[in-house]
Amino acid sequence: MTKQITLSHVNKTYVVGENPLHVLNDINLSIKEGEYISIMGPSGSGKSTLLNMIGLLDRIDSGSLVLENTETTALTEEQRAKLRRNSLGFIFQNFQLISRLTALENAELPLVLAGIDTSKRTEIVTKLFESLGLADRLQHLPKQLSGGQLQRVAIARAMVMSPKILLADEPTGNLDQKSGKDVVAVLEQLNLQGITLIMVTHDHELGARANRQLKMVDGVIVSDSGTSIEKDTKNEVA
Amino acid sequence: MKWRDSWRFSAQVLLRHKARTVLLSFAVAIGVSSVLLLTSVGEGARHYVSSEFASLGSDILIILPGKKETSGGSIPFYSTTPRDLTIEDAQAINHLSKVKSVAPIIAGTALVSHKNKSREVITIGSTQDFMNVRNLTLAQGRGFSQKSVDLAESICIIGAQLKNDLFGRYNAMGQWLKIADRRYRVVGILKERGESLGLDMRDMVIIPIRSAESLFNSPALFRILIALKPRQDEQLVKQRILSLIKKRHDDEEDITIISQNAMMSSFEGISNFLTVAIGVIASISLVVAGFLIMNVSYISVSKRQQEIGLLKAIGATANEVRIIFLTESALLIFLGVSLGLATGYILAALFNQFITSFMLIIPWWAAVASGLMSFIIGLLFTWLPAAKAAGQDPVSAMRGN
């Protein structure tokens, strides 16, 4: 498997009032194609910030972030937006669906931004909806759908551009147990098809399902089941 | 993002917020219709006066006794002259080759009565050419003949209103009426017609000029109206008339010649300026509408932060977000302009339907300018909120910060 995402000495600091808050401290991380990674840690540990950095939703202060062989730090906002559109799929805890648009219209938004024709868009979304068990929900408004259905519409939106990387921030956080399991099953199925899945979660059980688990504390990756960081950290603590 | 999708996306937003859309469209529509209606008053006034001038016929010169002097104050005055304009002066002018017809005028007011009905009306003494020069037509009877003018016959032509007031529904033709202490026989009734440059043609009486001379006991003319032959050099004719009168008045240049075309063009200049000025003042309401759109756009950007954040997260560029908001504004303005144009034209048509004495005419440039201005103002005022939306950080926006 080839390297798909590489973070080297990545730092990010927010200024809260007059005090700097170091949310990411010298992060080094390498992710290969098709990996299934969970990022866990307490609130404020920097896991969502790390996901946002990988998703190019925020800029790193220093270090380097290579995504799909592209060094992203020097990219313009427009180039970053296009890279997000074409290579990344996002799933958010609160679904982030636009209430006035139907499920179909919500799901096709990335295709609309990419300038794809209406007929092609409908074809893509319909196929995805069929595979997600939403075939009869195309014209429903978000308020007419259950939580699990809403998240599956969001997954469809994330998948319409056939991205190679799927970033999920607490994808089951707003769902009941059954819906959560269904959503996770869909995501894992996508991972089995070769899509890299990076998921931030508080849920240890869910996190443990990933092939590779990262643990973060105070902006530092303190454990990575895919490398020897955990051992090294334990040794350092000892 | 394709333009069609951008328009569709914006239309969905406008449909979703119907009350906001309707109110803002009304704001723009009020601005546009104000510009149309106010400029239509100016254009209507210009048209009214132009048609009044046109009703006198084209290529008309008016000779006034006395010379227009340059004064120290702002208002020029006409000097008094020891030499009156006379019928003979008019006859001499009539012999000039470029003159088509000449109507000397003696004017005054006199008590006109028939049986027990009487009223004070403007009495004009002139020749048979007066009818031609002033483009007057008769509803009944005949005009004056040269002979009746020369012999100062006691005949008259009366206006339609005067006929109704004095004779009611009875036939006035051939009837006698009294003007001051003299008796005149009605030989013609003017066709119904409104005021013409302040002179109510419906309420006046015309008598042969020689009769007027003795009626008012003065040979002095009030005016001489001159109709020129077609395509004459107005300045040249004026010069010829001036030198002719100068020769007849002991080398004194004691008349003023006003050209109707010159009066008309200077009036048109003033009225055009006033119409544009009115339009500019009315367009202030468009600026107010622009401010409203800006405020509402700012509110919209604040309320739709999560949506903006999402769009940016899934790959919308700053420019695409900006275009989404500008398109929304453009659609809103299009609705407002369409509504405003329709309202303006419908109101003007309704006004014209019920008020016939004055016509509202919407100048084409006012419709085009108000539409263009609405778009320019609307888009300019939306630019800042749209730029704010475009500059949003996706993560903060999605959190609603």
Question: What would the pLDDT profile of A134-162 be if each residue is shown by its tens digit?
Answer: 889 999 999 999 988 999 999 999 999 98
Please indicate, yes or no, if residue B275 is contained in any of the structural domains: yes
Q: Are residues B321 and B280 in the same domain?
A: yes
Average pLDDT over residues B315-343: 92
Q: Are residues B114 and B247 in the same domain?
A: yes
Confidence at residue A90, expressed as pLDDT on a 0 to 100 scale: 92
Residue B179 has pLDDT above 90, yes or no: yes
Q: Please, what is the end-to-end C-alpha distance for chain B in angstroms?
A: 26
Confidence at residue B196, expressed as pLDDT on a 0 to 100 scale: 56
Residue B143 has pLDDT above 90, yes or no: no
Q: Are residues B247 and B344 in the same domain?
A: no
CB contact under 8 A, B1 and A52: no
CB contact under 8 A, B310 and A55: no
Please indicate, yes or no, if residue B22 is contained in any of the structural domains: yes
- Can you tell me the distance from the alpha carbon of A233 to that of A216, in angstroms, rounded to the nearest whole number? 12
Best mutation target among A53, A98, A162 (most B Cβ atoms within 10 Å) is A98
CB burial of B57-95 (b: ≥16 within 10 Å; e: otherwise) equals bebbbbbbbbeeeeeeeeeeeeeebebebbbebbebbbe
φ/ψ of residue B104, rounded to 5: -75, 145
- Can you tell me the distance from the alpha carbon of B138 to that of B156, in angstroms, rounded to the nearest whole number? 12
Residue B214 has pLDDT above 80, yes or no: yes
- Can you tell me the distance from the alpha carbon of A168 to that of A177, in angstroms, rounded to the nearest whole number? 17
Lowest mean pLDDT among B85-94, B210-219, B263-272: B263-272
pLDDT above 70 as % of chain B: 93
- Residue A157's closest chain B neighbor by CA? B314
Q: Are residues B236 and B293 in the same domain?
A: no
- CA gyration radius, chain A: 18
CB contact under 8 A, A113 and B315: yes
Query: Which amino acid is it at A70?
Result: T
Average pLDDT over residues B321-335: 92
Average pLDDT over residues A153-178: 90
pLDDT above 90 as % of chain A: 63
Average pLDDT over residues B248-257: 86
- CA gyration radius, chain B: 33
Q: Which two tokens stand for residue B257?
A: 């010649």
Which of B229, B253, B277 terminates a domain? The answer is B253
Within 10 A of A70 (CB to CB), how many other CB atoms are there? 13
Helix (H) and strand (E) counts in chain A? 9, 10
Confidence at residue B80, expressed as pLDDT on a 0 to 100 scale: 58
Look at residues A135, A133, A132 and name the one whose alpha carbon lies nearest to residue A122.
A135
Q: Are residues B89 and B230 in the same domain?
A: yes
Ranges of beta strands (E only) in B137-203 are 138-141, 155-158, 176-179, 182-190, 195-196, 199-200
Best mutation target among B304, B317, B395 (most A Cβ atoms within 10 Å) is B317
Look at residues B48, B27, B37 and name the one whose alpha carbon lies nearest to residue B366.
B37
Residue A237 has pLDDT above 50, yes or no: no
CB contact under 8 A, B315 and A82: yes
Confidence at residue B36, expressed as pLDDT on a 0 to 100 scale: 92
Axis-axis angle for helices A118-131, A147-159 (nearest 10)? 130
Lowest mean pLDDT among B41-45, B78-82, B158-162, B254-258: B78-82
Confidence at residue A1, expressed as pLDDT on a 0 to 100 scale: 66
Q: How many CB pairs under 8 A join A and B?
A: 62
φ/ψ of residue A147, rounded to 5: -55, -45
Confidence at residue B271, expressed as pLDDT on a 0 to 100 scale: 82
Confidence at residue B327, expressed as pLDDT on a 0 to 100 scale: 92
C-alpha distances (whole Å) from A25 to each of A7, A38, A46, A231 are 12, 19, 9, 19
Residue B195 has pLDDT above 60, yes or no: no
Task: Record the pTM.
Answer: 0.71
Confidence at residue A233, expressed as pLDDT on a 0 to 100 scale: 42
Average pLDDT over residues B160-167: 91
Query: A121, A112 in Cβ contact below 8 A?
Result: yes
Look at residues B392, B395, B322 and name the one whose alpha carbon lies nearest to residue A56.
B395
User: Which residue from B306, B309, B320 is facing A113, i.e. has the nearest CB?
Assistant: B320
Please indicate, yes or no, if residue B60 is contained in any of the structural domains: no
- Can you tell me the distance from the alpha carbon of B157 to that of B188, in angstroms, rounded to the nearest whole number? 5
- Can you tell me the distance from the alpha carbon of B82 to that of B144, in angstroms, rounded to the nearest whole number? 31
Confidence at residue B303, expressed as pLDDT on a 0 to 100 scale: 85
Please indicate, yes or no, if residue B57 is contained in any of the structural domains: no
- Can you tell me the distance from the alpha carbon of B217 to that of B198, in angstroms, rounded to the nearest whole number? 25
Confidence at residue A157, expressed as pLDDT on a 0 to 100 scale: 93
Q: With the CA atoms of B156, B161, B163 and B165 taken in that order, what torsion angle do they form, in degrees rounded to the nearest 10?
A: -130
Ranges of beta strands (E only) in chain A are 3-16, 19-32, 36-40, 62-67, 70-71, 88-91, 165-169, 196-200, 212-217, 220-224
CB contact under 8 A, A96 and B393: no
C-alpha distances (whole Å) from B382 to each of A61, B27, B52, B390 are 33, 15, 47, 12
- Can you tell me the distance from the alpha carbon of B25 to that of A168, in angstroms, rounded to the nearest whole number? 42
Distance of CA A128 to the CA centre of its chain: 18
Q: Are residues B102 and B221 in the same domain?
A: yes
Average pLDDT over residues A57-63: 92
Look at residues B362, B288, B280, B293 and name the one whose alpha carbon lies nearest to residue B334.
B293
Please enumerate in sequence order all residues whose Cβ is within 8 A of that of A78, keeping only pairs 6 or more positions apart, or say none. B317, B318, B319
Report yes or no: A95 at the B interface, CB cutoff 8 Å. no
Most confident of A233-237, B230-234, B327-331: B327-331
Please indicate, yes or no, if residue B261 is contained in any of the structural domains: no
pLDDT-derived band at B29 (thresholds 50, 70, 90) equals: very high
User: Which residue from B1, B306, B307 is facing A115, i.e. has the nearest CB?
Assistant: B1
Which of B192, B221, B253 terminates a domain? The answer is B253
**Residue corresponding to tokens 């730029």:** B387
pLDDT-derived band at A238 (thresholds 50, 70, 90) equals: very low
Residues of A in contact with B307 (CB under 8 A): 98
Q: What angle do CA B234, B238, B242 make, to 5 degrees?
A: 175
Residue A227 has pLDDT above 80, yes or no: no
Specify the number of domains making up chain A: 1
- Can you tell me the distance from the alpha carbon of A227 to that of A214, in angstroms, rounded to the nearest whole number? 10
Structural domain of A217:
3-237
Please indicate, yes or no, if residue B259 is contained in any of the structural domains: no
Q: Are residues B86 and B149 in the same domain?
A: yes
- Can you tell me the distance from the alpha carbon of A50 to that of A60, in angstroms, rounded to the nearest whole number? 9
- Can you tell me the distance from the alpha carbon of A40 to that of B246, in angstroms, rounded to the nearest whole number? 111
Lowest mean pLDDT among A137-141, A161-165, B12-16, B231-235: B231-235
Domain of A76, CATH number, reads 3.40.50.300
Confidence at residue A107, expressed as pLDDT on a 0 to 100 scale: 94
Look at residues A225, A87, A232, A93 and name the one whose alpha carbon lies nearest to residue A154.
A93
- Can you tell me the distance from the alpha carbon of B201 to that of B191, in angstroms, rounded to the nearest whole number? 9
Residues of A in contact with B320 (CB under 8 A): 113
Q: Are residues B24 and B138 in the same domain?
A: no
One DSSP character per residue, B48-76 reads: HHHHHHHHT-SSEEEEEES-EE--SSSS-
Specify the number of domains making up chain B: 2
Q: What kind and span of H or E run contains A142?
A: none
Structural domain of B174:
82-253
Confidence at residue A141, expressed as pLDDT on a 0 to 100 scale: 94
pLDDT-derived band at B399 (thresholds 50, 70, 90) equals: confident
This model of the complex carries an ipTM of 0.88
User: Which residue from B12, B311, B317 is facing A78, i.e. has the nearest CB?
Assistant: B317
Q: Are residues B87 and B136 in the same domain?
A: yes
- Phi-psi domain of B120 (left: phi exceeds 0; alpha: psi -120 through 50; beta: other): beta
Look at residues B360, B375, B294, B373 and name the one whose alpha carbon lies nearest to residue B45.
B360
- Can you tell me the distance from the alpha carbon of A67 to that of A8, in angstroms, rounded to the nearest whole number? 12
